[in-house]
Structure 1
Amino acid sequence: MSARQVSDLEAYLADRGISFGPVAPDAAADRDDAAFDARAAEDSEQPRFVRGFHDILITIGVVVVLIGLWGLGGPFVTLPVILGLAEILVRRQRLALPSVALTVALVHWVGTTSLLFVSEHDDAWKPMVFALAYLSAFPIPLGLFYWRYRVPLALAGLMVSVALICVVAILLAFERSLGIDLANDDHFMLLALTVLVGALGLFATAMRYDVSDPQRVTARSDTAFWLHLAAAPALLYSLIGLVFVSNGRGTWWDGQAGLGQAIAAILIVALFMLVGLVIDRRAFVTSGLLSLGGAIWTMLNQTGASLDNYVFVAFAAVGVTVLFIGIFWQKLRRIVMNLLPEVITARLHAAP
């Protein structure tokens, strides 16, 4: 038992009239508690796509074979091999990491093949029409692949592709109905808002999968993992895009981002980290690191701090933030979860 479990048991027995004398602090118990937190942090978000070095070895072979065949025969030679390997490695042997590699290979095949066909109309089609035609090639192959092999990444990819198609279709409808060109910077806010709505829909779908498996013991949790991995950066950068619009669309890289813009970005990143702690998904922490570094660099630059190497200071600050959150993930999560009502925490992955 960990030290925290012992203290909970003592409180339970004390409520029933059974008390214990004071116990001296035990360094070994503290170490056990720290080890328990470390194991809990490892187990709290563990998508099942690496089960051993055998999976890694087979995946290396899959990647090397597909690269070689792609160079020799192109996409039309590669597709039968992808499906043949999926029958052996995914459907029969149920290997986890090779299933991810083969799903990624299928996505690459669909993307490359679709581009071959739609590029013939590159000069005639507007960007939104081109994007819609390109994205429309993804749902059916991914849906069939998931139906046959039940790979969570394929299901997540299907949902992401549908979300992207919906976003592009809405943007195309705006262009046609309002008579505008969204490639023009003057309409960037409309673009960012539409992407934000699509990202919120993707996040809601991911949360539905998460709350349906709070113990994270089924493939639904893996699907939620991949969906969060796509939703987190989409949400973040649509919000950051709106911050850029409010300040003349200055970015971190052109040196035109203002101090208020940097502070807003830091607040958004902090909010995402808080969301990540609540739902126990680290994608919401990692997705904001680039923006956090850019915001810190901008703040140092705008405040006239006497530092010669802003970039290295920003790297150090981001690294310290990542290490702090990573090391104390479970303790921070317990603090946050204790502040929330039970009606919310009961549906989420439990804090140890």
Structure 2
Amino acid sequence: MTELNRALAGAAEKGIISAHQVSDLEAYLADRGINFGPVSVDAAVDRDDAALDAQAAEDSEQPRFVRGFHDILITIGVVVVLIGLWGLGGPFATLPVILVLAEILVRRQRLALPSVALTVALVHWVGTTALWFVGEHEDAWKPLVFVLSYLSAFPIPLGLFYWRYRVPLALAGLMVSVALICVVAVLLGLERILGIDLANDNHFALLALTVLAGALGLFAVAMRYDVSDPQRLTTRSDTAFWLHLAAAPALLYALIGLVFVSNGGATWWDGQAGPGQAIAAILIVALFMLVGLIIDRRAFVTSGLLSLGGAIWTMLNQTGASVDNYVFIAFAVVGVSVLVIGIFWQKLRRMVMRLLPETITARLHAAP
């Protein structure tokens, strides 16, 4: 089915021209030697539309960090070399190699997947060395002070790495680390102002609300990057991808945490959670799936799969089903949900987008 086929079929669906006029136009063009496939709704058209939906689903969220097997081969080499150097010389021997490889592979050759691997290696290096320095004060400092000191080591190295190499993951990591620092700083301030210990279960709601506020801020930044590049042609879209990947689970589990506050902090795994909490969790996961469809980001779907399985586990457990039954039923339901959403992603998204005002849909990634 050519672009002309799709244009004519779309015009007929919207009532711009009739199906009879489409047939007449096809015959008119065929008489002049312009031949193309039929535009009537038949099995061939359905197959073409399904293929287009599959291609659109593949292209709608495709971060540019895998560009071919060459990238994969180089990345394998990078990982193996860094692991070997870490085992031989520790972090002080690894950092110079990370920077040298970044100059060659990222700044000069602009290889995508190796840039991700080197950014992850830098995060690991910062995390390990920071833990060595602050670990000496672990017993003397309060937990939140210890965490705040540890997180404070990340923004500057990630910021410098992004400034030099322009890796989207480094920018996203910088923003995530700043968001985490802000959350921990607020929690520390609340402890001192209110004179409470947030490690106490009685204040779990305050902890969850603070994490929720930080996650919402991260989500807002991610949406700002998404809206600035609705066609997803620049690295701003890649930065948004990584931010959504961090914001989605943070939002989800902050909300899930608030659901279980009313049950004394009980979880699915200790057998104390009730069906009310399970239903609430399923509704939250459904909401996240809807948000994922609207903004065309699958992170909001995948982040809720574990929670969906846990909720189904709880509801089956409450009915007295055997362990073998509800474990496999939970797996089956989650798997079917993933397949249905994955296969019909574009169709479901078109249905959802039609219900939204154009002022919103015009700023989002277009539904094919």
Q: Which residue of 1 aligns with 2:36?
A: none
| 2:110 counterpart SS class | coil
Q: Which residue of 2 aligns with 1:212?
A: 228
Q: Which residue of 2 aligns with 1:282?
A: 298
The one of 49, 71, 78 equivalent to 2:94 is: 78
The one of 209, 215, 219 equivalent to 1:193 is: 209
1:59-105 per-position Cα deviation (integer Å, ceiling 9, x unaligned): 00000000000000100110000000000000000000000000000
Q: Which residue of 1 aligns with 2:114?
A: 98
Amino acid at match of 2:275: L
1:313 Cα shift?
Answer: 0.7
The one of 242, 255, 258 equivalent to 1:239 is: 255
Amino acid at match of 2:299: A
Q: Which residue of 2 aligns with 1:135?
A: 151
The one of 307, 310, 326 equivalent to 1:291 is: 307
- 1:302–1:236 Cα change, 3 Å: same
Q: Which residue of 2 aligns with 1:45?
A: 61
1:123-181 per-position Cα deviation (integer Å, ceiling 9, x unaligned): 10000000000000000000000000000000000000000000000000011111111
Which structure: larger Rg? 2
CA contact (8 A) 1:139 1:158 kept: yes
- Distance between the aligned counterparts of 1:64 and 1:120, measured in 2? 31
- Distance between the aligned counterparts of 1:13 and 1:130, measured in 2? 65
State the aligned residue count.
352
Amino acid at match of 1:121: H
Q: Which residue of 2 aligns with 1:166?
A: 182
1:186 Cα shift?
Answer: 1.2
The one of 52, 68, 78 equivalent to 1:36 is: 52
- Distance between the aligned counterparts of 1:274 and 1:117, measured in 2? 44
| 2:363 counterpart SS class | coil
| 2:136 counterpart SS class | helix
Q: Which residue of 2 aligns with 1:150?
A: 166
1:193 Cα shift?
Answer: 0.3
1:14 Cα shift?
Answer: 3.9
- 1:17–1:65 Cα change, 3 Å: closer
CA contact (8 A) 2:187 2:207 kept: yes
- Distance between the aligned counterparts of 1:305 and 1:324, measured in 2? 26
1:172-226 per-position Cα deviation (integer Å, ceiling 9, x unaligned): 0011111111111111110000000000000000000000000000000000000
Q: How does 1:219-258 map to 2 (within 5 A)?
A: 219-258=235-274
1:17 Cα shift?
Answer: 11
Are 2:343 and 1:338 equivalent residues in the alignment? no
Q: Which residue of 2 aligns with 1:62?
A: 78
Of 174-183 and 42-51, deviating more is: 174-183
- Distance between the aligned counterparts of 2:279 and 2:179, measured in 1? 30
1:21 Cα shift?
Answer: 5.6
Amino acid at match of 2:63: P
- Distance between the aligned counterparts of 2:83 and 2:293, measured in 1? 39
- Distance between the aligned counterparts of 1:6 and 1:254, measured in 2? 58
1:24 Cα shift?
Answer: 5.6
Unmatched 5+ residue regions in structure 1? none
Are 2:365 and 1:349 equivalent residues in the alignment? yes
Q: Which residue of 2 aligns with 1:7?
A: 9
Are 2:139 and 1:123 equivalent residues in the alignment? yes
Amino acid at match of 1:322: V
CA contact (8 A) 1:50 1:97 kept: yes
- Distance between the aligned counterparts of 1:146 and 1:197, measured in 2? 26
| 1:19 counterpart SS class | helix
1:15 Cα shift?
Answer: 5.2
| 2:269 counterpart SS class | coil
Q: Which residue of 1 aligns with 2:316?
A: 300
CA contact (8 A) 1:13 1:19 kept: no
Unmatched 5+ residue regions in structure 2? 25-38
- Distance between the aligned counterparts of 1:317 and 1:55, measured in 2? 36
1:303 Cα shift?
Answer: 2.5
TM-score, normalising length: structure 1 = 0.97
- 1:230–1:17 Cα change, 3 Å: closer
Of 90-99 and 182-191, deviating more is: 182-191
Amino acid at match of 1:285: V
1:7 Cα shift?
Answer: 2.2
- 1:14–1:230 Cα change, 3 Å: closer
- Distance between the aligned counterparts of 2:102 and 2:23, measured in 1? 62
Amino acid at match of 2:259: V
Identity %: 84
1:281-312 per-position Cα deviation (integer Å, ceiling 9, x unaligned): 00000000000000001111113347742111
